[in-house]
Amino acid sequence: MAWSKTKTAGAVTAGILLAAGITIAVFLSKRPAANENDPVAYAVLHRSLLQKLFRQEVNEHELRRQLLGTWEMAAVRSRRGTNYFFLPTNNNHLKIFTQTTWSIVGYDDDSNMVYSAGGPYQLRGNTYTETIESATGFMTNFIGAHPRFKIILKGDKYYQLGQGNNIHEIWQRMPH
């Protein structure tokens, strides 16, 4: 009797696992890739269970050092989009980091500033929080905000993945 119940429980468990596996496979096959043009961004957004359980420690001092300098926006994905929109080079969106502050500027083809913002930032692991203390243009709506992102640096690319705001950006380091 006990063996019969064990076999039945095992068969039911196997059936549930099989159904769950098929459901996940169908869902993943129908869903568009987050960004097939940038496998690093895709890997960051879709970490494996092992990567989620065994997080790699981030050296904040080293990350801060690597952020120093000027970055040009290479791609952006908005709240509703599933793919990144890749910008042309020299696209007029620049971000500058010091050890403690950040600033961003966007300008048009005539070199007229369209928007700017800046303030201090904090790092906790690879969680990056900016404080918007000053701004111009449409960014004035965000003064006082504290947007939070996950950031990953891979060579000369910087990935800023929004938390709560779902805006994801890819930045390319500008030459000195």
Q: 3-7, 27-31, 102-106, 166-170: which has the highest mean pLDDT?
A: 102-106
- Strand pairing report for 101-107 and 93-97: antiparallel
Question: 5 phi and psi, to 5 degrees?
Answer: -65, -40
Split into its structural domains, the chain has a count of 1
Residue bearing the bigger pLDDT, 143 or 92: 143
Q: Which CATH number does the domain housing residue 166 bear?
A: 2.40.128.280
Query: 2 lies in a domain?
Result: no
Predicted TM-score (pTM) of this structure: 0.66
Domain assignment of residue 70, given as a range:
58-173
